[in-house]
């Protein structure tokens, strides 16, 4: 090779005459490689100083903000047999629309005239209540009449007792008078005897005086006998007063006992009527459960129990319903180590299943197919999967989420944190430091903290939450 170059310099070899020489070139490979390295290094240096948004990635799925807007199942309130379907899967229903019809499978409700017969029983018991009420009214009148009769009888007997007492007093006075007359007659008889002995009076006068004395004694005995009879009448009147009072007390007690029994029967009938009224209401309400209706506007997504003639149990799911109107949200789960970085109001970017996206996690503004959200709620208790549930609603300041999204589809969330240079993010990753985060204080200013755990007491004092 050196000799070839020497011949060429001396002009002893003409390279234009040979085609192969025209295809040869002299490449400076080392200089070119150095330039490439320098350019690459310059691009890398520029690249590492570009801004980068720190983020936390978490998987989730679409749900709704309000519980009543989530997919629900319609259950059977009673056990029954499916008789007829009124809807198809995918059909839209309005509140109160009939979905299917059930029939009874319990023998207690087989009677087609159950409500009518129950009403007849209620009417019969109500009539019995009226009869018991009338009976109680009659017994009240009877008790009142007995009480009045007792009062009159007692007053009459007390008057008779008073008459007897007065009669005893009168007879006692008569007895005293008769005894005084007898004593006077005895004294006169004794004087008459003395006069007769002295010969001053005749025997006829003595006998006359003796006759008067005997009459006075007879009147005294009669007066005493009359007094004793009056006293007996007084005692009999007092006994009769006690007897009348006891007699009517027994009658009143019996009447009150019968009234209490009638009242017991009346209240018992009232309790049975109330119980039967409750049964009637239950039967009437149960008859309304034969037709399963939609609770709100929505789409019938799936018939869980199909066919005609199938029996279902109480509380068994029949169809699933998806409400028409709902407010979408994303339910995502974050690791416990990342939970302190999540605050209500934080920005989140989402990638939805079925929506093509070109994503730059550190440059969300340069991503296509990523949609914005804001943290709406954070659970205070860990879920069964060992993560914390975070509910994210659409960001009103960002472009709206696609209308084709459906509840239950998957989503990948990126919670956006602080904007840092790329070199800082690489350095943080290599050292295993946590991302930076902000804590919002009472005056809405943002205070940055890096590489340390939040102080719970201070954070609560600043946020006021």
pLDDT in tens, 397-409: 888 888 878 888 8
Residues 125 and 259 in one domain: yes
Domain range for 312 is: 72-97+294-323
Q: Is residue 102 part of a domain?
A: no
Residues 143 and 274 in one domain: yes
Tokens of 124: 């019969």
- Give the model confidence (pLDDT) of 351-375 as tens digits: 888 776 665 555 555 555 678 899 9
What is the C-alpha separation between 324 and 62, in angstroms, rounded? 15
Q: How confident is the model at residue 446 (pLDDT cuts 50, 70, 90)?
A: very low
Which strand (E) or helix (H) includes residue 55? strand 51-64
What residues contact residue 179 under an 8 Å CB cut-off, 6+ apart? 220, 223
Choose one of 288, 309, 342: the last residue of a domain. 288
Q: How confident is the model at residue 21 (pLDDT cuts 50, 70, 90)?
A: low
Confidence check: pLDDT of 44 > 70: yes
**Percent with pLDDT over 70 in the chain:** 83
- Give the model confidence (pLDDT) of 104-139 as tens digits: 888 888 888 888 888 899 999 898 889 988 988 988
Q: Decide: 270 and 133 in contact? Cβ < 8 Å.
A: no
Between 99 and 360, the more confident residue is: 99
Q: How many CB atoms lie within 10 A of CB 348?
A: 28
Tokens of 146: 């007995």
Residues 310 and 341 in one domain: no
Residues 271 and 152 in one domain: yes
- Give the model confidence (pLDDT) of 230-278 as tens digits: 889 889 888 988 988 888 888 889 999 998 998 999 899 889 999 999 9
Q: How many domains does the chain have?
A: 4
Residues 263 and 122 in one domain: yes
Residues 135 and 161 in one domain: yes
Tokens of 283: 């039967």
Between 211 and 362, the more confident residue is: 211
Q: How confident is the model at residue 218 (pLDDT cuts 50, 70, 90)?
A: confident
Least confident of 74-78, 293-297, 355-359: 355-359
Confidence check: pLDDT of 330 > 90: yes
What is the C-alpha separation between 77 and 54, in angstroms, rounded? 52
Residues 432 and 421 in one domain: yes
Q: Decide: 251 and 213 in contact? Cβ < 8 Å.
A: no
Q: Which of 262-271, 410-419, 433-442 has the highest mean pLDDT?
A: 262-271
**What Rg value do the Cα atoms of the chain yield, rounded?**
61
């Amino acid at each position: 090779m050196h000799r070839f170059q020497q011949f060429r310099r001396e002009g002893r070899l003409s390279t234009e005459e040979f085609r192969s020489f025209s295809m040869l070139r002299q490449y400076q490979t080392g200089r070119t490689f150095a330039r490439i390295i320098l350019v690459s290094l310059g691009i890398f240096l520029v690249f590492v100083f570009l801004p980068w948004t720190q983020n936390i990635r978490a998987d989730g799925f679409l749900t709704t903000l309000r519980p009543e807007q989530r997919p629900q199942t319609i259950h059977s309130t009673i056990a029954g047999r499916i008789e007829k379907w009124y809807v198809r899967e995918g059909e839209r229903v309005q509140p109160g629309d009939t979905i299917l019809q059930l029939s009874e499978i319990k023998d207690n409700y087989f009677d087609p005239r159950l409500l009518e017969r129950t009403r007849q029983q209620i009417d019969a018991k109500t009539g019995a209540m009226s009869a018991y009420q009338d009976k109680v009214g009659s017994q009240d009148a009877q008790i009142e009449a007995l009480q009045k009769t007792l009062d009159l009888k007692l007053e009459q007997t007390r008057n008779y007792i008073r008459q007897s007492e007065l009669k005893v007093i009168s007879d006692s006075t008569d007895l005293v008078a008769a005894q005084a007359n007898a004593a006077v007659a005895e004294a006169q008889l004794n004087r008459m005897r003395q006069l007769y002995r002295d010969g001053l009076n005749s025997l006829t006068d003595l006998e006359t005086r003796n006759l008067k004395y005997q009459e006075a004694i007879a009147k005294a005995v009669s007066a005493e006998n009359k007094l004793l009879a009056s006293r007996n009448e007084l005692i009999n009147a007092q006994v009769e007063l006690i007897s009348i009072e006891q007699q009517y007390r027994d009658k009143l007690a019996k009447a009150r006992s019968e009234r209490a029994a009638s009242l017991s029967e009346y209240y018992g009938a009232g309790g049975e009527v109330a119980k039967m009224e409750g049964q009637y209401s239950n039967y009437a309400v149960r008859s309304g459960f034969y037709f399963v209706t939609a609770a709100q506007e929505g789409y019938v997504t799936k018939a869980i129990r199909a066919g005609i003639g199938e029996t279902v149990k109480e509380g068994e799911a029949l169809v699933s319903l998806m409400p028409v109107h709902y407010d979408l949200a994303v339910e995502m789960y974050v690791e416990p180590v990342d939970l302190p970085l999540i605050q209500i109001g934080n920005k989140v970017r989402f990638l939805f299943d079925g929506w093509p996206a070109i994503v730059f996690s550190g440059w969300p503004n340069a991503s296509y197919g990523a949609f914005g959200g804001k943290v709406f709620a954070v659970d205070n208790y860990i879920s069964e999967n060992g993560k914390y549930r975070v509910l994210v609603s659409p960001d009103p300041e960002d472009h709206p989420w696609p209308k084709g999204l459906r509840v239950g589809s998957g989503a990948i969330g990126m919670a956006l944190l602080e904007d840092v240079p790329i070199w800082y993010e690489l350095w943080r990753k290599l050292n295993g430091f946590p991302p930076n985060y902000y804590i919002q204080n009472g005056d809405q200013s943002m205070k940055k903290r890096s590489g340390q755990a939040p102080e719970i007491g201070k954070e609560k004092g600043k946020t006021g939450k």
